[in-house]
Amino acid sequence: MRTSTAVLFVLILGATALAAAPDRPVPTHADVAYGPHARQVLDFWKAEGKGPRPLLVYIHGGGWYQGDKNDRHAPDYHHFLKKGISCAAVNYRLSPKTPLPAPVHDAARAVQFLRFKAREWNIDASRIALTGGSAGACTSMWILLHDDLADPKSKDPVLRESTRVTAAAVLNGQTSIDPKVMEPWLGREAAKHPMIFRAVGEKSLEDVLARYTRHRPLFVEFSPYNHLDRADPPLYMYYDQSMDLPSKDIHHGIHHPVYGVKLKEKADRLGHECHLEIKGVVKPKEYANLNEFLMKKLLTPKPRSMNAVPSPK
């Protein structure tokens, strides 16, 4: 994720960069294991308030091959906690040592684990939202738009929990990771980014294309665009890169606003609630910013009939 994305979180969420460690609140529960791997840990901050509290989950970026839940791009947890919203930040296994589906499925399992802990940690399981930038945005959108991964027959009680969430608000996220979709959208540079080839355990785009038939099912499955339907929860996307085409370099290409444009076009055709903000180009009328979207989705009381975990599609 680029520095501009970090600046965005400062401006929109009032965040102080996590490099200023003293300002980061001490987690209520730190490095809690949600799986057996050393990277399968999360932090949780418990908000005060009457009744179970809504939850915001941060999924860090870094192309699925680097990054950490303690990075400086995280939202301002103080801000959300003061509003009565609990927070969590998730680590996950990294590629290429553990390629797809590991990084994304880990984050989905973290959501299931947090639901599993809902009673103990006073979480409102019907009001969970996701946020993140770059690869964390791609993962957030994938979980938001994908069919429920809950397995009611699993021996693992965590895997019996729902992965469906209330909303997601993301920054500079990839809505497709398929090189043969990305190139017509953006030009060849975007698909040259290490996120794409390392995600499937390869060393270069050339290696990916040489074995594209083998990797195509993963590219199709982990492109959020392919999972969108009308019934999915609402989404807010923000991009701060230029609209220049073709993309200028790999960093511009991997964070290009066209990802958001393509998903927004599909959402509008289907009647799905999707909001797109592109810095200096377009801004939603319904919300002042990403922060306001998250607050309204997490704090607006649901009708009595909806006060349950979202059901599978």
| Closest to 80 measured CA to CA, from 287, 233, 239, 298 | 298
In a domain, 307, yes or no: no
In a domain, 232, yes or no: yes
Q: How many CB atoms lie within 10 A of CB 70?
A: 14
- Fill in the amino acid letter for 76: D
Task: Report the pLDDT value the prediction gives residue 282, as an integer from 0 to 100.
Answer: 97
Domain that holds residue 257: 3-300
In a domain, 312, yes or no: no
Separation of alpha carbons 166 and 209, rounded Å: 37
In a domain, 306, yes or no: no
- Fill in the amino acid letter for 161: E
Q: How many CB atoms lie within 10 A of CB 156?
A: 12
Grouped pLDDT means (10 residues each) for the chain, 313 residues: 40 34 83 98 97 98 97 93 98 98 98 98 98 98 98 98 98 98 95 98 98 98 98 98 96 98 98 98 95 95 51 42
Task: Report the pLDDT value the prediction gives residue 301, as an integer from 0 to 100.
Answer: 73
Task: Report the pLDDT value the prediction gives residue 302, as an integer from 0 to 100.
Answer: 65
Using H for helix, E for strand and C for coil, what is the string for 276-288? EEECCCECCCCCC
CA 62 to chain centre: 12
In a domain, 311, yes or no: no
Task: Report the pLDDT value the prediction gives residue 24, as an integer from 0 to 100.
Answer: 86
In the structure encoding, which two tokens stand for residue 217, read together? 């099912």
In a domain, 16, yes or no: yes
Domain containing residue 145: CATH number: 3.40.50.1820
* Residue pair 47/80 in contact by the 8 Å Cβ criterion: yes
Task: Report the pLDDT value the prediction gives residue 10, as an integer from 0 to 100.
Answer: 36
| Closest to 12 measured CA to CA, from 275, 284, 288 | 288
In the structure encoding, which two tokens stand for residue 63, read together? 């192309």
Task: Report the pLDDT value the prediction gives residue 23, as an integer from 0 to 100.
Answer: 82
In a domain, 309, yes or no: no
In a domain, 261, yes or no: yes
Domains held by the chain: number:
1
**DSSP-H helix ranges across the chain:** 3-13, 77-82, 102-116, 118-121, 135-145, 179-186, 188-191, 194-198, 205-210, 212-221, 250-254, 258-270, 290-299
- Fill in the amino acid letter for 124: D
